[in-house]
Amino acid sequence: MTVSVARKIAFEVLRRVEAEGAYASDLLHAELSAEVRAEDAGLATELVMGVLRWQRLLDLLLELALKKPVARLDLPVALALRMGLYQLRFLERVPARAAVNESVELVKRARKASAATLVNAVLRRAAGEAAIFAEGFLPADIAGAERLGTVHSHPTWMVERWLERFGEERTMGLLQADNRAPRLSCALHDLPRRDEIFESLRGAGLRIEAGKILQSAFAVSGGSLTRTAAFREGAISIQDEASQVVPLLLGVRAGERVLDMCAAPGGKTPTLLRAAGNGGLVVAADRHAHRLLAMREQLKRLRLLSVRLVELDAAGRLPFGVFFDRILVDAPCSGTGTLGRHPEIRWRLRPQQLAEFHSLQSALMKSALERLAPGGRLVYSTCSLEAEENERVVEEVLRNVRGVRRVDVGEITEALKGKLVAGMDARGLFDSSGYFRTLPGLQDADGFFAATLEMEPKN
């Protein structure tokens, strides 16, 4: 029996995610070339993301059948079992026979033929139990965060934090949102051509939904966006809607000097370039040369060539002889606001890493503020839900750096006027403390945090 193209791709991507620490979205983007049929690309993506999202629950169910931890299996065997069980439990349109037989073939292809009988037996039994709710397999004494973490396939420590911070109802919304495929949100770069661009996308077989926050945002489904003429010509980009809002909070004006301090992969830089115009100066920095090269290619696609790309470690003193009117610090972070898009993060992240991120983020803020002009504004943002990386970084800065203040929400929302969808109240994007914040489960967007600071002008 042969193995389908989709399952071969999914198996190899999952192997590299586990063995090499790679990110599934990057690997899928590389693997799903134009030669791969749309239905194969869809199934491969579903298998990879589904297995990663539900890994904890899948492993629990497998261990009940195996009588030993999945971690003790050879990796190819563990992956074949996870893929097979995911299909049996979550993909109603996949025949059980195909899920079982192709999983057996995968271990054979991986030169683990000795495990074929085991995989066959475990998955055949699982096929007969697929209709039983997962909760029915849990121990009677499991409760609280442990139960939620198991049923919704998140680390217990993460669920405990969210319960304490957000309460049960909002935490449930987060857990459920993380286990759904997120909307494929996009940015429209030429609003007057909206109807023309949308018509061309529909002609390519895509379905379009309007943005929930920004007039220039939209979501697509049902096809390959990157193969369309609109994408190739730079009329649109793929970008989460909350991410699109962040650079707007800076309120960049024509002719200003702007620093995008942690710029790669470059999704926010185009907004800054367009706002600063030909008379402005936009510097985009990152510590990794290969990421800057990839960013340059994206900016070429968008026909934005006036940016200055600089390789540097922004946690140290910045090598610039000028001060900047606007600085964006889109800081490296844990990414807990993007677990629906990057499910592998939930299994890699450790609680102690939050303190490490905090130290880095504080250092970035310190070096950025040293180059912020009097009267200039800085936006600090993350795609994290954790206080250590968000408000506690801002609070530390305000305690330790003189002459810096937080900008009032009313002043920030001025920069959003005319950009939000009809009926959207800009203040609804800010929490009770005045921070920009989105949460999966509340908005159809990733979880983002942003604070806007201003350097006091000289007397």
Q: pLDDT of 22-69, one tens digit each?
A: 999 999 988 988 788 888 999 999 999 999 999 999 999 999 999 999
Q: What one-character DSSP code corresponds to residue 338?
A: G
Q: Which long-range contacts (CB under 8 A, 24 or more apart) does 331-334 make?
A: 331/262, 331/357, 331/360, 331/361, 331/364, 331/365, 331/380, 331/381, 331/382, 331/389, 331/393, 332/262, 332/357, 332/360, 332/361, 333/357, 333/361, 333/382, 333/383, 333/384, 333/389, 334/384, 334/386, 334/389
Determine the 3-state secondary structure of 10 from DSSP: helix
User: Does residue 459 have a pLDDT over 70?
Assistant: no
**What residue ranges in 324-434 does DSSP mark as E strands?**
324-330, 372-382, 404-406
| Digit-coded pLDDT (tens) for 405-430 | 999 999 999 999 999 999 999 999 99
Structural domains in the chain, sorted by start: 5-137 (1.10.940.10), 146-179 (no CATH), 184-238 (3.30.70.1170), 241-455 (3.40.50.150)
**Cβ–Cβ under 8 Å, residues 239 and 266:** no
In the 8-state DSSP scheme, what is residue 444? Answer: S
Q: What SS3 class is residue 304?
A: coil
pTM above 0.85, yes or no: yes
Nearest-angstrom CA–CA distance, 215 and 397 = 34
Tell me the pLDDT tens digit for each residue of 185-223.
999 999 999 999 999 999 999 999 999 999 999 999 988
Query: CA angle, 273 as apex, 269 and 276 as ends, to 5°?
Result: 135
Q: Are 373 and 325 in contact (CB under 8 A)?
A: yes
In sequence order, which ranges of 228-352 are alpha helices (DSSP H)? 229-232, 241-245, 269-276, 289-301, 345-348
What pLDDT does 157 receive?
Answer: 98
Query: Residue 141's pLDDT is what?
Result: 83
Q: What is the pLDDT of residue 443?
A: 86
First to last CA, the chain: 79
Average pLDDT, rounded, for the chain: 94
Cite the active site residues. 383
Phi, psi of 380 (to 5 degrees): -105, 125
Structure tokens at 169: 């109802």
Number of residues assigned to the chain = 459
